[in-house]
Copies of this chain bind each other. A is one copy, B any other.
């Protein structure tokens, strides 16, 4: 039940973009440096984010990447799901799960209800965090750290 490295790096890149001044784009080298990952690996991750519409890629001079929507409208859950697919703790807890389609035990299995409850709590925590708030809070903490150093 651990986040993939792809999702972790994708989140880093998205939060970095969310912290840039309005209208500023970032190239792959800048994003890879910010996310502390190789540009080759990050390119694959960004492909999923652009396909999901969370990121926009511009070609040519002045090109680069920007967010596909306002940072306040993109949640951590959006980013994770764009990269990993639906956050789903077990086979029986999918959005389309029905007693017939997912697991024939579901109609009576009390554990299935717990997986669903746990999944709802997990999703709730991730949907409440917007890229905007994450970028602002990270910048505030970094600033406080730097101030304390001097």
Contact = CB atoms under 8 A, between A and B. Distances in A.
A141 B113 CA distance: 12
A117 B127 CA distance: 12
A110 interface: yes
Nearest to A80: B1
Interface stretch (A22-30, A42-50, A54-62, A130-138): A130-138
A70 B12 CA distance: 44
A137 B17 CA distance: 48
Interface of A is mostly: helix
A73 interface: no
Interface string A99-137: 000000101111101110110011011100100011101
Contacts of A129: 111, 114
Interface of A: 1-3, 8, 11-12, 15, 36, 76, 80, 84, 87-91, 105, 107-111, 113-115, 117-118, 121-122, 124-126, 129, 133-135, 137-138, 141-142, 145
Given A107-B145, A109-B141, A118-B122, 4 more contacts: A8-B91, A109-B138, A121-B122, A121-B124
